[in-house]
A and B are shown apart, each in its own frame.
Chain A
Amino acid sequence: MTDTATQQDTLLQATGLRKMYRMGGQSLEVIRGVDLSVTRGQWLAILGASGSGKSTLLHLLGGLDRPSQGSVVFDKQNIFAMRGPRLDRYRNRHVGFVFQFYHLLPELNVIENVLLAAMISRSVPAWAGARSQQRPRALKLLDRLGLSHRLNHRPAKLSGGERQRVAIARALINQPDVLLADEPTGNLDAQTGDQILEVLQEFHQAGQTIVMVTHDHRIAQAADRVITLRDGKLDPEQSEAS
């Protein structure tokens, strides 16, 4: 690959990211200068011990949190230079979050949870028009995830693995540029966790960019690039390699 090609394939470019929390008089720096680039089509695993700042980093990449310093460039723009509504739109359109504890809305059934992200950017009349394309898309996604028989169930009726698959479908409904998964298998037994990894593998092979955070070496093996976060810093030898 030429230099220019790599440049073009860079999806997210984080530079000098720092995140500080102030607790009482003390300040705690959780992310201490992270430079990171994610290329399109990559499956990147960020490995780190509990409390090393993985979730915080992921939230920063997804524009859910703002850093104390540094930038994340997406599509030639620093997302933190955007005003609130544009950042909301970035999260809605270009990012899909998957959390350790699934975080499905308990009042909504499976199909509604999946369609939620598709509804957010649309008004009631716009949704009336869009529903006819979005619903089949959601059904197809759920079918691929083996959940076709669960469409009208509420999250409380589903197993952990099923819930996580619904969460993945929800994250993917708007065809995001990057899927940000925060310990997606962390709350599941090994076997179910492997099933989730297989699902991610499948989407990755179809071209989905994934950034996955985990504290488990074994899980990180599934990714095609692994970097380690230690005390808010990336291990130097891995940082911009491979």
Chain B
Amino acid sequence: MYKLLLILKYLRRKLAPLFAASAVALCTAMVIIVISVMGGFLQMMRESAQRLTGQVTVSSDLWGFPHYEDLLDELKKVPQIDAATALIRAYGLINLYNNVITIEAVGIHPDSLNTVTGYRETLYWTSQHLLDDIEQSMPPAELRNQREQALYESRRQRFEQIDLRDLGMTFTPPVTRPNQQPQPGIVLGIEVNPYNRRGHDGQYDIATSSINSELTLTLIPMTQRGTVMEPSVRRMVVANEFKSGLYEIDANRVYAPFDLVQQMLRMDEATQVNPETGEPTGQMEPARTSEIMLRGKPGVPLDELRQAVSDTVDAFTAARPGLPYLRVQTWRDRHATLLGAVEKEKMLLTFLFAVISVVAIAMIGVIFYMIVLEKTRDIGVLRAVGASRGGVMSIFLGYGLAVGCIGAGVGLALAASVVYNINKIQDFLTQRFNFTMWDPTIYYFDKVPSQFDTTEVTVIVVVAILSSVLGALLPAYLAGRLNPVESLRYE
């Protein structure tokens, strides 16, 4: 009982435990904040990666593989699979505002892709952007005459009726110019257009977007041997832009209608020709694609899904000799380098801060040693009235435990308030001191990501408390070993 009483008394009386608890609190908060922000960053990248590649892909080389529709049918029958879509990857060029840019062109079926990856959500421009834009360029309060008023109203009404994301989903350019043939639409990665700039809020301005701009897309078809054929060139109009969250993708990729890309790459169904004579053989060359992307049923583990897909693909290729090698990969495999880098970074940072925390343990040790020195005479008194060595030791261990609990608790509260308000804090710092920790123009996220992982946080808190006890261990041991007679003489 006296131990508890003394621990409580010592906690209330001294400045030293306050220092020790603050050190614990700061270390705990620091590690939690770093882990949460890095974890959030990682989580965002993972989500982006899955939004780009679905959960599992089946892919061949650039030349592609035939009979993909049969494979799609087979895959859709697999119980673990929820949705699947075919797409074609190719490399090419676009000429946008006389900028020639190399790109990766992906031919997609937007609706079925959407069921696999949630593609629609990545389309950046919504009608709200258009409405905001007219409000900006023609502020209703500043309209001078009826003509301007009428113009404003008509635009508003027109914009209210169109849904830019719907147009993106159907590759329809928002505005068809009169007496012009409707041109096919294309969706660009938001960083492809060099005029798109992220503001300090991390948002883009529709005024500089390439929406409705005309461009030419050049794709280079190949023979099965890999030689280049006559390039296909097509005029297209930008229907929308997308933002996947991975900069490398957004700066290099464009989406176009599947059938169009297939035709341009001569991967559609065609009559076979004899390569030597150039004469038609009378047989049909089947259509090809280069990739199938799929999503599992909710709750199906990734490895199980991958295995199911592998089995189906193996059976499919076994039944059709002459198919190129089909590679089955999970989204983790495909983004391994990128995710691996961030995961390592997170581990490294956690490790660094853990090392810093060792300093905090040492500090607790020193502070507790000072407390023991200061209390030497009292320790002698305790021994004289019958306290055991273990009893004296456990007072200081308990004291360490109490300091650890208080420190870790305060640190947890501190970290939680920072993590949950990190964007507000960031905005405040930016506005007040023009200081930006997480610059959206650099980091490519408009918000500071953060994620409070209960398991990780619990581990950190427990480790912080144990560390405090560990820091108090040696001083506590020394306190227990003190010779009571010497202690009583101690002044």
The answer to whether A116 and B485 touch across the interface, beta carbons within 8 angstroms, is no
* Count of A interface residues, CB-CB < 8 Å: 33
Scan residues 357-390 of chain B and give those whose CB is less than 8 A from a CB of chain A: 377-378, 380-390
- Asked if A236 is an interface residue, CB under 8 A from chain B, the answer is no
- Interface residues as binary, A111-131 with B (CB distance below 8 Å gives 1, 0 otherwise): 010001101111110110000
B9–A117 CB distance below 8 A: no
Cβ-defined contact, B384 with A64, below 8 A: yes
Given contacts A64-B383, A91-B384, contact A120 B4 (CB under 8 A): no
Task: With both chains docked as a complex, state the minimum distance between the C-beta of A127 and any C-beta of chain B, in angstroms.
Answer: 4
Q: Cβ of A92 and Cβ of B488 under 8 Å apart?
A: no
- Of the listed residues B2, B9, B386, B389, the one surrounded by the most CB atoms of chain A closer than 10 A to its CB is B386
Most buried by B among A92, A99, A105, A112: A105
Given contacts A84-B389, A103-B377, contact A112 B383 (CB under 8 A): no
The 0/1 profile, CB within 8 Å of B marked 1, for residues 74-89 of chain A is 0000000000110011
Q: Considering the chains assembled together, what is the distance between the CA atoms of A56 and B485 in angstroms?
A: 9
A residues touching B (Cβ–Cβ < 8 Å)? 56, 59, 62, 64-65, 84-85, 88-89, 91-93, 97, 99, 103-108, 112, 116-117, 119-124, 126-127, 170-171
Q: Given known contacts A65-B485, A88-B386, A116-B382, what 5 new A-B pairs fall within 8 Å (CB)?
A: A91-B383, A105-B382, A107-B12, A120-B386, A170-B385
In the complex, how many angstroms separate the beta carbon of A61 from the nearest chain B beta carbon?
Answer: 12
Within the complex, the shortest CB–CB distance from B392 to chain A, in Å, comes to: 10
Pick the residue among A59, A88, A124 that contacts B485 (CB under 8 A): A59
By DSSP majority rule, is chain A's interface helix, strand, loop, or mixed?
helix
The tally of CB-CB contacts under 8 A between chains A and B is 77
- Given the interface pairs A64-B383, A97-B385, A105-B378, the reply to whether A122 lies near B9 with Cβ below 8 Å is no
Instruction: Give the chain B neighbours of A106 by CB distance below 8 A.
Output: 378
Is A119 a contact partner of B386 (Cβ separation < 8 A)?
A: no
* 5 cross-chain pairs, A with B, having the tightest CB-CB distances, nearest first: A92-B386, A127-B1, A107-B9, A119-B2, A119-B1
Chain B window 1-35, contacts with chain A (Cβ cutoff 8 Å), 1 for yes, 0 for no: 11011100110110000000000000000000000
A112 touches B385 (CB 8 A): no
- B388 pairs with A85, CB closer than 8 A: yes
CA distance A99 to B488 in the complex (A): 9
Q: Which chain A residue shows the least CB distance to B387? A: A120
CB neighbours of A112 from chain B (8 A): 5
| A124 adjacent to B1 (CB under 8 Å) | yes
Q: Describe B's contact surface by its main secondary structure.
A: helix
| B54 interface contact, C-beta 8 A | no
A93 and chain B: residue at smallest CB distance: B386
Most buried by A among B378, B380, B385, B391: B385
Closest to B11 in A: A107
Contact flags B248-276 to A (C-beta < 8 A → 1, else 0): 00000000000000000000000000000
Q: Which residues of A contact B383 (CB under 8 A)?
A: 64, 88, 91
The answer to whether residues A108 and B9 also contact, given A119-B2, A127-B1 and a CB cut-off of 8 A, is yes
Contacts of B484 in A (CB 8 A): 64-65
A134 to chain B, nearest CB (A): 10
Select A120's contact among B13, B380, B385, beta carbons within 8 Å.
B385
A-chain residues with CB within 8 Å of residue B9 when the two chains form the complex: 107-108
CA distance A232 to B451 in the complex (A): 73
Q: Report yes or no: A107 in contact with B6, Cβ–Cβ below 8 A.
A: yes
Question: Chain A residue with minimal CB distance to B8?
Answer: A107
| Distance, CA A2 to CA B199, complexed state (A) | 107
State A122–B387 Cα separation when bound (angstroms): 11
A126 to B484, CA, bound (A): 26
Cβ contacts under 8 Å, B381 to chain A: 103-105
Inter-chain contacts of B391 with A (CB < 8 A)? 88, 120
Q: Assess A119 versus B5: contact at CB under 8 Å? Given A59-B485, A103-B377, A107-B13.
A: yes
Query: Once the chains bind, are B1 and A122 in contact (CB under 8 Å)?
Result: yes
| In contact, B385 and A117 (Cβ under 8 angstroms) | yes
Contacts of B373-424 to chain A: CB distance below 8 A: 377-378, 380-391
CA distance A32 to B19 in the complex (A): 49
Specify the chain A residue showing the minimal Cβ separation from B386.
A92
Out of A64, A85, A91, A120, which one reaches B2, CB within 8 Å?
Answer: A120
28 contacts between A and B (CB under 8 A): A64-B383, A65-B485, A84-B388, A84-B389, A85-B390, A88-B387, A92-B387, A97-B384, A97-B385, A103-B377, A103-B378, A105-B6, A105-B381, A106-B378, A107-B6, A107-B9, A107-B10, A108-B9, A116-B2, A119-B5, A120-B1, A120-B385, A120-B386, A120-B387, A121-B386, A122-B1, A127-B1, A170-B385
Q: Which residues of B contact A108 (CB under 8 A)?
A: 5-6, 9
**Shortest distance between the CB of A207 and any CB in chain B (Å):** 22
Return A45 CB to nearest CB of chain B, in Å. 21
A62 to B, closest residue via Cβ: B384
Q: How far is the CA of A38 from the CA of B384 in the complex (A)?
A: 20
A91 to B387, CA, bound (A): 9
Q: How far is the CA of A13 from the CA of B89 in the complex (A)?
A: 101
Output the nearest chain A residue to B389 by Cβ-Cβ distance: A84
Distance of A219 Cα from B251 Cα, bound (Å): 98
Instruction: Report the separation of the CA atoms of residues A207 and B389 in the bound assembly, to the nearest whole angstrom.
Output: 32
Who on chain A is nearest to B13 by CB?
A107
Bound-state Cα–Cα, A127 to B388, Å = 17
Query: A85 CA to B386 CA in the complex, in Å?
Result: 9
**How many angstroms from the CA of A100 to the CA of B243 in the assembled complex?**
81
Distance from A86 Cβ to chain B, minimum over Cβ atoms (Å): 10
> Do A116 and B385 have beta carbons less than 8 Å apart?
yes
B485/A64 in contact, CB under 8 A:
yes
Interface residue from A59, A91, A123, A127 paired with B385 (Cβ < 8 Å): A91
Closest to B486 in A: A65
Give the residues in chain B near A89, CB-CB below 8 Å. Answer: 386
CB-defined contacts of B385 to chain A, threshold 8 Å: 91-92, 97, 116-117, 120, 170-171
Residues of A within 8 A of B384 (CB): 62, 64, 91, 97, 99, 103
Residues of chain A with a CB closer than 8 A to B10's CB:
107
User: Nearest residue in B to A117 (C-beta to C-beta)?
Assistant: B385
Pick the most buried of B381, B384, B387: most chain A CB atoms within 10 A of its CB. B384
State A97–B386 Cα separation when bound (angstroms): 10
